[in-house]
Amino acid sequence: MVLAAPGWRAAVKRPEALARRAARAALREAGAVGAMTVLLADDAAVKRLNGTHRSKAKPTNVLSFPAGTPGHLGDVALALGVVRREAREGGRHAAAHLAHLVAHGALHLAGHDHIEAGDARRMERAEARVMRRLGLPNPWRGAT
């Protein structure tokens, strides 16, 4: 867990602990074994990563980088400003949105995807189960 943007602590109570719990729950849901790193960054850092790795000159909520090395599943990076804005616009708590996006990224590292409609539905159901295990609202059911 890397807290690169201290503003996360103002937005979410104990963001590192919540991200750790969400990652573990998602990997357990997927039956994946291995470690992952979560970077809680600001928008500028995620914009740089998005530009370098996806050729997109803007920040995004979450990026996943599969490692392909034994024992390490990969890395997930989240952008504070984007996460806060999306939570506010969706009528959700920033903590719930953080947990959902960490779970989303972890599921990507475990091999889930959402390109095809059937895959997207399976991934959404897995995310909903993770959120239920964390005692947080289903992100696919209206505002919380």
pTM for the model stands at 0.95
Q: How many angstroms from the chain centroid is the CA of residue 91?
A: 18
Between 115 and 126, residue with greater pLDDT = 126
The stretch 44-73 carries a mean pLDDT of 96
The stretch 47-69 carries a mean pLDDT of 96
Closest CA to 43 of 55, 23, 57, 64: 57
Res 144 pLDDT > 60: no
Q: Work out the pLDDT band at 69, boundaries 50, 70, 90.
A: confident
Cβ-Cβ contacts under 8 Å for 46 (sequence gap 6 or more)? 59, 60, 63, 77, 78, 79, 82
Domains present along the chain, CATH in parentheses: 2-133 (3.40.390.30)
Per-residue pLDDT reduced to its tens digit, 121-139: 999 999 999 999 999 999 9
Taking only Cα atoms into account, the Rg of the chain, rounded to an integer number of angstroms, comes to: 14
Q: At 39, which helix (H) or strand (E)?
A: strand 35-41
Q: What is the mean pLDDT of the chain?
A: 95
Res 143 pLDDT > 60: no
Res 35 pLDDT > 60: yes
pLDDT of residue 50: 98
Q: Work out the pLDDT band at 142, boundaries 50, 70, 90.
A: low
Distance CA 1, CA 69 (A): 18
Number of Cβ within 10 Å of residue 102's Cβ equals 29
